[in-house]
Structure 1
Amino acid sequence: MVLAMTLFSSQASHSASFYEQLQAVELGDTHFDAQGHVTTTGDIDRKVACLRPMRKGLPNISAESVGEQVRVHLYGHGGSGWTLLWGSVNKAVALFEEKAKEHKFNELVPITIIGAGCMGKAVALSLYHTGFQNIRIIAEQDDSIASLNSTGYLAMVSLATENESEKKQAEKLAIDTLKGYQMVEKGTHPIINEGVHLIDVYSGLGKEGEEGPLETYTGIEPYAEAGLLPKPENGVVKFSTGVSYPMRKYQTYFMDTKVLMKAFDRELKARNIPVIHETVGSLEDIKTYVVFNCSGLGAAKLNHDEKVYPNLGLLLELAHQPLKKLDYIIYTRYQPPGAPKRVSPVDKADIYFMPRSGGLLGATFVDHNDGTDNALNEALFTRILRENKQFFGYPLN
């Protein structure tokens, strides 16, 4: 039985410019075991723990000469690797080209890229497009990595910038990246032309102390303010389960990360750029004239960077979802009915639905956590499911 519930406590203060009826995520066949933990049956396919490579301040995008070798650093993007991708890659390649002129490198100079995430693969293809041909990627693995588990939400919500100057620099990278995805969508990007489309994003309008979805910083605001994405609208969303909420609608780009990574792999193969599975213990172990350090969390050791740390993201991957009817994102803080007042950071979502793969629910943002605390993980998985069931209007079992 579906619980019908309407939360209009703050509707009177929000003029509705839209009224939309949306298919709810199907969570009727989800269960908790005797310990209250989420079971991977029915509508839940898999529990996923992913570590974001956070860096205090800005990502490290820099170039240096170490003797005859040029080292370009490109890491520390947190959960915003896809959001800052093209801006970061373009900046790193430009820095390298300056160094290449100084060192008088030609197009056949040997280049080693450490890391096979979105940064490593995109920079390899960008270098090739620029004219460099002797490229290889070295990585411990290129499956089950953060770039594949990423939700694919283009928004400034998972960085550790510390001041307004850093925020503005990150926003410039993000805007340059947005322009890259616009080219992908139009089919005019020089590297890939699939896996990206505009999508509606819904966040709350409720005020502190109210129940339901609360007003949220979505990370789309800088794009909308710059006129690069549509201005948000206020209105009402009614889900197929019967629950209704006043919400704010944005639009941003959704990047299907699995499609994009497969496209990168296909393009790498076509250009004979190998991905070699090896563990790099030190940057000194790489003897080629050029090294791109795209090692993510590994940069803490490889570059002796104490600013790099893990941020734990937990996701529930879904099964049996009507994805054609679920082409939207929910990114909102949420106050469950009757629960203690929410104490999470105001710029982080509690309800986070993405239509990637079979659909997923998330996500946690736990700083300085390496994911090894299983008891905490299970408690967080349980919270994710409980609160999503309440949000979408399903009874708790």
Structure 2
Amino acid sequence: MIHLAPFYDQLEAVQLGDAHFDAQGRVVLGGDIDRKTICLRPMRKGLPEISAERIGEQIRVHLYGHGGSGWTLLWGSVNKAMALFEERARAHKLNDQVSVTVIGAGCMGKAVALSLYQAGYRNLRVVAEKDDGIASLNSTGYLAMVSMATENKSEKKEAEQLAIETLKGYQKVDKGTHSIINEGVHLIDVYSGLGKEGEEGPLETYTGIEPFAEAGLLPKPEQGVVKFSTGVNYPMQKFRTYFMDTAVIMAAFDRELRTRNIPVVRGTIGSLDDIKTDVVFNCSGLGAAKLNHDDRVYPNMGLLLELAHQPLNKLDYIIYTRYQPPGAPKRASPVDKADIYFMPRRGGLLGATFIDHNDGSDNALNEALFTRILRENKQFFGYSL
């Protein structure tokens, strides 16, 4: 049930007047467009894999497959993985001197390493193929259940519980009371459409914030009108959720790792059997498909247009809505996926498409999607093409 509380919000529009297409209709870099980015999310059919096992004398904890919801499920997933590990450690009478290798330098891997240190373990290292340009850094930082592959109500409920625990973790970060980091997180307004199928403009959209609002952890949505500085206005819903500045948080993780002398080592792991430490935390993302012989893991491609010259101090909001451009063929994408997706991360960005089972190698498709992203955002924000 939507709580009606009419609003009239006047917002600065994203600056897209100096964003252009070339003769072939492709997005041109320069002006308001700084960079085109392709990111691959480690999606897993069903739920993320969070489990522990003993292989010979080694304990292995698996923590991967969160798709585009790694930040949304972060603290809940790390806490569950740590609980499984501590249970095994007690059963096998391990002490805090055991050697531990964490595979993966994304948000899961680094948060796990810091959680292990906090629990008293000191013989730690993080091993990763790369530590820059990774999915955790490219992530938009939107706390919402919008990029997972759960297959039934039970799985969805379990994922929601991980997300609710994660939300409580970000509330502590925002208040400055979290035990690991205390920066890079704040509440933000999220606008989504109210239009019905077949209408033009922003359409009713599942934002992924609904479970938090229904649980009373975030405000219920309000209905009202948004008017942008370009003159266009739309009836929309306004939600509130947490925005995580992923670059700031990852930098904080890195600083805390250095402070605790936990090394991050560049290296490629061919097999889990190659690691000889007492404990392994497998936070390898897409690499888990090979390392854990998990055929349920696959890439979900996202595309981002990173922006330049944006007045970010006036753009502290998120747009997450399906959108039917005027005069365009009816949208054929799934009804729960956004077409207009603006985030105020870094210089601001547009995009975040959800293309399942796609490794980003089809350049023609990528350019067509970049073009669609820019065209539709220009129309949405009130700019001529």
Contact 2:63–2:77 (CA<8 Å) still a contact in 1?
A: yes
Find the counterpart in structure 2 of residue 28 from structure 1. Answer: 17
* 2:116 is the counterpart of 1:117: no
Which of the residues 252, 269, 282 maps onto 1:280?
Answer: 269
Determine helix, strand or coil for the equivalent of 1:138.
Answer: strand
Q: CA deviation at 1:320?
A: 0.3
Q: 1:249 and 2:238 equivalent?
A: yes
Structure 2 partner of 1:232: 221
Matched residue type, 2:314: K
- Normalising by structure 2, we get a TM-score of 0.99
Map 1:291-310 → 2, pairs under 5 A = 291-310=280-299
Runs of 4+ in 1 over 4 A off after TM superposition: none
Check whether the contact 2:4–2:222 (CA below 8 A) recurs between aligned residues.
no
Residues 299-330 of structure 1: CA deviation (Å, up to 9, x unaligned): 00000000000000000000000000000000
Residue 4 (structure 1) aligns with? none
Identity %: 82
| Paired position in structure 1 for 2:166 | 177
CA RMSD across the alignment: 0.8
Report the AA paired with residue 53 of structure 2.
Answer: E
| 2:140 is the alignment partner of 1:151 | yes
**Structure 2 residue 360 is matched with structure 1 residue 371:** yes
Cα deviation for residue 16 of structure 1 reads: 6.6
Q: Aligned-pair distance for 1:295?
A: 0.2
Q: Which amino acid aligns with 2:230?
A: T
Shift of 1:341: 0.3
Matched with 2:310 is: 321
Q: Establish whether residue 214 from structure 1 lines up as the match of residue 203 from structure 2.
A: yes
The gaps in structure 1 that reach 5 residues or longer are: 1-13
Deviations 1:195-224 (A, max 9, x none): 000000000000000000000000000000
Which letter does structure 2 place at the counterpart of 1:235?
Answer: G
Indicate the SS of the match to 2:239.
strand
Which amino acid in the other structure matches residue 362 of structure 2?
Answer: D
Q: Distance in 2 between matches of 1:101 and 1:280?
A: 28
Summarize deviations over 1:341-382 as a string: whole Å, max 9, x none.
Answer: 011111110000000000000121000000000000000000
SS in 2 for 1:176: helix
Is 1:192 aligned to 2:181, yes or no?
yes
Whole-angstrom CA distance in 2 between matches of 1:105 and 1:132: 11
State yes or no: 1:99 paired with 2:88: yes
Q: Are positions 1:55 and 2:72 aligned together?
A: no
Change (3 A) 1:254 1:78: same
Matching residue within 46, 60, 76 for 1:87? 76
Tell whether the 8 Å contact from 1:49 to 1:371 is kept in structure 2 after alignment: yes
Amino acid at match of 1:29: D
Aligned position for 1:3? none
Partner of 2:127: 138
Q: Taking structure 1 as the reference length, what is the TM-score of the superposition? A: 0.96
Alpha-carbon distance in 1 for matches of 2:188, 2:322: 19
Distance 2:173 2:353 in 1: 29
**Contact kept in structure 2, 1:187 and 1:193, CA below 8 Å:** yes
Does the residue aligned with 1:48 lie in a helix, a strand or coil?
strand
Offset at 1:102? Answer: 1.6
- Give the residue type in structure 2 aligned to 1:180: G
Tell me, in whole angstroms, the C-alpha distance in 2 between the residues paired with 1:89 and 1:192: 14
Instruction: Count the aligned residue pairs.
Output: 383
Greater displacement, 312-321 / 102-111: 102-111
Structure 2 unmatched runs, 5+: none
CA shift, 1:108, in A, is 1.2
3-state SS, counterpart of residue 177 of structure 1: helix
Q: Deviations over 1:43-99 (max 9, x none)?
A: 000000000000000000000000110000000000000000000000000000011
2:307 and 2:269 map into 1 onto residues whose CA distance is 35
**d(CA) in 2 for partners of 1:100, 1:116:** 23
The separation in 1 between residues aligned to 2:266 and 2:94, in whole angstroms, is: 27
The one-letter code matched in structure 1 to 2:195 is: G
Q: Say whether 1:72 aligns with 2:54.
A: no
C-alpha distance in structure 2 between counterparts of 1:33 and 1:125, whole Å: 47
